[in-house]
Protein backbone atom coordinates (compact mmCIF):
# COMPACT_ATOMS: atom_id res chain seq x y z
CA UNK A 1 0.00 0.00 0.00
CA UNK A 2 2.85 2.38 0.88
CA UNK A 3 4.53 1.67 -2.47
CA UNK A 4 1.36 2.28 -4.46
CA UNK A 5 0.83 5.53 -2.54
CA UNK A 6 4.38 6.61 -3.40
CA UNK A 7 3.74 6.00 -7.09
CA UNK A 8 0.46 7.93 -6.93
CA UNK A 9 2.14 10.88 -5.19
CA UNK A 10 4.93 10.95 -7.78
CA UNK A 11 2.43 11.04 -10.63
CA UNK A 12 0.44 13.77 -8.89
CA UNK A 13 3.55 15.89 -8.36
CA UNK A 14 4.71 15.47 -11.94
CA UNK A 15 1.21 16.23 -13.17
CA UNK A 16 1.07 19.45 -11.17
CA UNK A 17 4.38 20.53 -12.67
CA UNK A 18 3.26 19.71 -16.19
CA UNK A 19 -0.07 21.48 -16.13
CA UNK A 20 1.16 24.50 -14.18
CA UNK A 21 3.35 25.60 -17.06
CA UNK A 22 2.39 29.03 -18.36
CA UNK A 23 2.50 27.94 -22.00
CA UNK A 24 0.20 24.94 -21.54
CA UNK A 25 -2.45 26.72 -23.61
CA UNK A 26 -0.20 26.50 -26.65
CA UNK A 27 0.27 22.74 -26.29
CA UNK A 28 -1.81 19.87 -27.65
CA UNK A 29 -3.09 17.80 -24.72
CA UNK A 30 -3.57 14.06 -25.08
CA UNK A 31 -4.61 10.91 -23.25
CA UNK A 32 -3.66 7.43 -24.37
CA UNK A 33 -3.05 3.73 -23.81
CA UNK A 34 0.26 1.87 -23.91
CA UNK A 35 1.33 -1.76 -24.40
CA UNK A 36 4.93 -2.77 -23.72
CA UNK A 37 6.81 -6.00 -24.24
CA UNK A 38 9.26 -5.82 -21.34
CA UNK A 39 12.29 -7.90 -20.43
CA UNK A 40 13.64 -7.50 -16.89
CA UNK A 41 17.17 -8.56 -16.03
CA UNK A 42 16.37 -9.54 -12.42
CA UNK A 43 17.82 -12.98 -11.60
CA UNK A 44 17.33 -14.49 -8.15
CA UNK A 45 20.03 -16.59 -6.46
CA UNK A 46 19.06 -19.08 -3.76
CA UNK A 47 21.78 -19.68 -1.16
CA UNK A 48 22.29 -22.20 1.61
CA UNK A 49 24.76 -20.46 3.87
CA UNK A 50 27.42 -19.11 1.51
CA UNK A 51 26.83 -21.78 -1.12
CA UNK A 52 24.74 -21.11 -4.19
CA UNK A 53 22.04 -23.77 -4.48
CA UNK A 54 20.45 -22.68 -7.76
CA UNK A 55 19.51 -19.53 -9.75
CA UNK A 56 16.04 -18.45 -10.85
CA UNK A 57 16.15 -16.72 -14.22
CA UNK A 58 14.33 -13.49 -14.98
CA UNK A 59 11.69 -13.33 -17.70
CA UNK A 60 9.65 -11.11 -19.95
CA UNK A 61 5.96 -10.20 -20.20
CA UNK A 62 3.62 -7.41 -21.30
CA UNK A 63 3.09 -4.15 -19.44
CA UNK A 64 -0.20 -2.30 -19.71
CA UNK A 65 -0.42 1.43 -19.14
CA UNK A 66 -2.26 4.72 -19.39
CA UNK A 67 -0.65 8.01 -20.37
CA UNK A 68 -1.49 11.70 -20.36
CA UNK A 69 0.59 14.60 -21.58
CA UNK A 70 1.16 17.70 -23.65
CA UNK A 71 2.87 18.08 -27.01
CA UNK A 72 4.39 21.12 -28.71
CA UNK A 73 6.14 21.43 -32.04
CA UNK A 74 9.51 20.16 -30.80
CA UNK A 75 8.81 18.69 -27.35
CA UNK A 76 6.44 16.26 -25.66
CA UNK A 77 5.96 15.61 -21.94
CA UNK A 78 4.14 12.45 -20.84
CA UNK A 79 3.01 11.02 -17.51
CA UNK A 80 2.80 7.23 -17.64
CA UNK A 81 1.55 4.50 -15.31
CA UNK A 82 2.15 0.84 -16.19
CA UNK A 83 1.37 -2.52 -14.60
CA UNK A 84 3.51 -5.65 -15.16
CA UNK A 85 2.72 -9.22 -14.11
CA UNK A 86 4.59 -12.34 -15.20
CA UNK A 87 3.84 -15.85 -13.97
CA UNK A 88 5.95 -18.79 -15.09
CA UNK A 89 7.77 -21.79 -13.60
CA UNK A 90 6.37 -21.39 -10.06
CA UNK A 91 7.44 -17.71 -10.05
CA UNK A 92 5.35 -14.54 -10.17
CA UNK A 93 6.74 -11.04 -10.63
CA UNK A 94 4.60 -7.90 -10.27
CA UNK A 95 5.62 -4.29 -10.91
CA UNK A 96 3.85 -0.94 -10.67
CA UNK A 97 5.62 2.01 -12.33
CA UNK A 98 4.83 5.71 -12.51
CA UNK A 99 7.08 7.91 -14.62
CA UNK A 100 7.55 11.13 -16.57
CA UNK A 101 8.93 11.04 -20.13
CA UNK A 102 10.42 14.01 -21.99
CA UNK A 103 10.79 13.58 -25.77
CA UNK A 104 12.47 15.79 -28.36
CA UNK A 105 11.25 15.53 -31.96
CA UNK A 106 14.22 15.41 -34.34
CA UNK A 107 12.19 16.44 -37.39
CA UNK A 108 8.71 16.23 -38.85
CA UNK A 109 7.49 15.21 -42.31
CA UNK A 110 3.99 15.70 -43.67
CA UNK A 111 1.10 17.98 -42.74
CA UNK A 112 -0.26 18.88 -39.32
CA UNK A 113 -2.86 16.10 -39.57
CA UNK A 114 -0.67 13.40 -41.15
CA UNK A 115 2.99 13.34 -40.22
CA UNK A 116 5.90 11.23 -38.98
CA UNK A 117 8.17 12.51 -36.20
CA UNK A 118 11.22 10.54 -34.97
CA UNK A 119 12.28 11.42 -31.43
CA UNK A 120 14.72 10.74 -28.62
CA UNK A 121 14.10 11.31 -24.95
CA UNK A 122 14.67 10.51 -21.30
CA UNK A 123 12.49 9.31 -18.43
CA UNK A 124 12.49 9.06 -14.65
CA UNK A 125 10.03 7.40 -12.31
CA UNK A 126 9.22 5.40 -9.22
CA UNK A 127 8.46 1.68 -9.16
CA UNK A 128 7.64 -1.26 -6.91
CA UNK A 129 8.89 -4.81 -7.48
CA UNK A 130 7.60 -8.00 -5.89
CA UNK A 131 8.61 -11.59 -6.66
CA UNK A 132 7.02 -14.67 -5.14
CA UNK A 133 7.04 -18.39 -5.76
CA UNK A 134 8.34 -21.76 -4.66
CA UNK A 135 11.71 -21.95 -2.90
CA UNK A 136 13.27 -25.31 -2.04
CA UNK A 137 15.23 -25.59 1.19
CA UNK A 138 18.37 -27.66 1.73
CA UNK A 139 16.45 -30.08 3.95
CA UNK A 140 13.85 -30.67 1.18
CA UNK A 141 11.38 -28.27 2.77
CA UNK A 142 9.52 -25.95 0.41
CA UNK A 143 8.51 -22.34 0.91
CA UNK A 144 5.87 -20.66 -1.22
CA UNK A 145 5.69 -16.93 -0.63
CA UNK A 146 7.24 -13.51 -1.29
CA UNK A 147 11.04 -13.62 -1.54
CA UNK A 148 11.75 -10.16 -3.05
CA UNK A 149 9.84 -6.99 -2.26
CA UNK A 150 11.23 -3.49 -2.74
CA UNK A 151 10.67 -0.12 -4.38
CA UNK A 152 12.74 2.79 -5.67
CA UNK A 153 13.61 5.09 -8.54
CA UNK A 154 14.26 4.11 -12.15
CA UNK A 155 15.57 6.20 -15.04
CA UNK A 156 16.71 5.83 -18.63
CA UNK A 157 16.22 6.84 -22.23
CA UNK A 158 13.98 6.11 -25.19
CA UNK A 159 13.84 6.54 -28.95
CA UNK A 160 10.93 6.10 -31.29
CA UNK A 161 8.63 7.35 -34.01
CA UNK A 162 5.34 9.21 -33.50
CA UNK A 163 2.90 8.92 -36.42
CA UNK A 164 -0.06 11.30 -36.52
CA UNK A 165 -2.81 9.73 -38.64
CA UNK A 166 -5.58 12.33 -38.11
CA UNK A 167 -6.25 15.59 -36.31
CA UNK A 168 -6.83 13.72 -33.03
CA UNK A 169 -5.08 10.31 -33.25
CA UNK A 170 -1.37 9.56 -32.94
CA UNK A 171 0.39 6.17 -32.99
CA UNK A 172 3.73 5.72 -31.27
CA UNK A 173 6.39 2.99 -31.46
CA UNK A 174 9.47 3.20 -29.26
CA UNK A 175 12.21 1.34 -27.39
CA UNK A 176 12.94 2.20 -23.75
CA UNK A 177 15.92 1.21 -21.63
CA UNK A 178 15.90 1.71 -17.87
CA UNK A 179 18.19 1.32 -14.88
CA UNK A 180 16.96 1.28 -11.29
CA UNK A 181 18.13 1.97 -7.75
CA UNK A 182 16.52 -1.29 -6.58
CA UNK A 183 19.37 -3.72 -5.94
CA UNK A 184 20.43 -6.61 -3.71
CA UNK A 185 17.00 -7.46 -2.34
CA UNK A 186 17.73 -10.15 0.25
CA UNK A 187 14.96 -11.92 2.15
CA UNK A 188 15.43 -14.84 4.55
CA UNK A 189 12.80 -17.41 3.60
CA UNK A 190 13.85 -20.52 5.54
CA UNK A 191 16.07 -21.21 8.51
CA UNK A 192 18.90 -22.39 6.26
CA UNK A 193 18.10 -20.70 2.95
CA UNK A 194 18.11 -17.07 1.81
CA UNK A 195 17.56 -15.38 -1.57
CA UNK A 196 19.22 -12.41 -3.26
CA UNK A 197 17.50 -10.63 -6.16
CA UNK A 198 19.11 -7.80 -8.11
CA UNK A 199 17.54 -5.76 -10.91
CA UNK A 200 20.19 -4.76 -13.43
CA UNK A 201 18.15 -3.24 -16.25
CA UNK A 202 14.81 -3.26 -18.06
CA UNK A 203 14.21 -3.06 -21.79
CA UNK A 204 10.83 -2.46 -23.43
CA UNK A 205 9.38 -2.21 -26.92
CA UNK A 206 6.34 0.03 -26.49
CA UNK A 207 3.33 0.72 -28.68
CA UNK A 208 0.89 3.45 -27.71
CA UNK A 209 -2.07 5.32 -29.11
CA UNK A 210 -2.74 8.94 -28.13
CA UNK A 211 -5.96 10.91 -28.46
CA UNK A 212 -5.65 14.73 -28.66
CA UNK A 213 -8.40 16.80 -27.05
Between CA 56 and CA 90 the distance in angstroms is: 10
| pLDDT tens per residue, range 21-51 | 545 567 899 999 999 999 999 888 888 878 8
- Write out the H or E segment, with its range, that includes residue 165: none
Instruction: Give CA separation, 55 vs 4, 135, 146, 198, in Å.
Output: 29, 11, 16, 12
Nearest to 131 by CA among 151, 108, 109: 151
Domain ranges of the chain: 2-212
Does domain 2-212 correspond to CATH entry 2.40.160.20?
A: yes
Between CA 112 and CA 99 the distance in angstroms is: 28
Between CA 71 and CA 62 the distance in angstroms is: 26
Confidence (pLDDT) at 39: 95
Burial label, 157 (beta-carbon count in 10 A; 0-12, 13-18, 19+): middle
Confidence (pLDDT) at 5: 47
Confidence (pLDDT) at 126: 95
Confidence (pLDDT) at 65: 97
Nearest to 185 by CA among 197, 199, 194, 177: 197
Task: Provide the whole-model pTM.
Answer: 0.85
- Please tell me what DSSP assigns to residue 13: H
Confidence (pLDDT) at 112: 76
Q: Considering only CA atoms, give the Rg of the chain.
A: 20
Q: Are 35 and 199 in contact (CB under 8 A)?
A: no
- Phi, psi torsion values for 5, nearest 5 degrees: -65, -40
The residues of the chain scoring below 70 in pLDDT are 1-25, 138, 186-191
Amino acid sequence: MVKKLGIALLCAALGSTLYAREDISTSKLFIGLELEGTNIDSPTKVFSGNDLKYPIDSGSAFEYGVRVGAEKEDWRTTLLYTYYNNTEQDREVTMHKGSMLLDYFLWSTGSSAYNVKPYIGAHVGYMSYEASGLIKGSNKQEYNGVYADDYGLFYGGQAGIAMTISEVVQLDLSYKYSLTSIDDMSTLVLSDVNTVTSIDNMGSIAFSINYFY
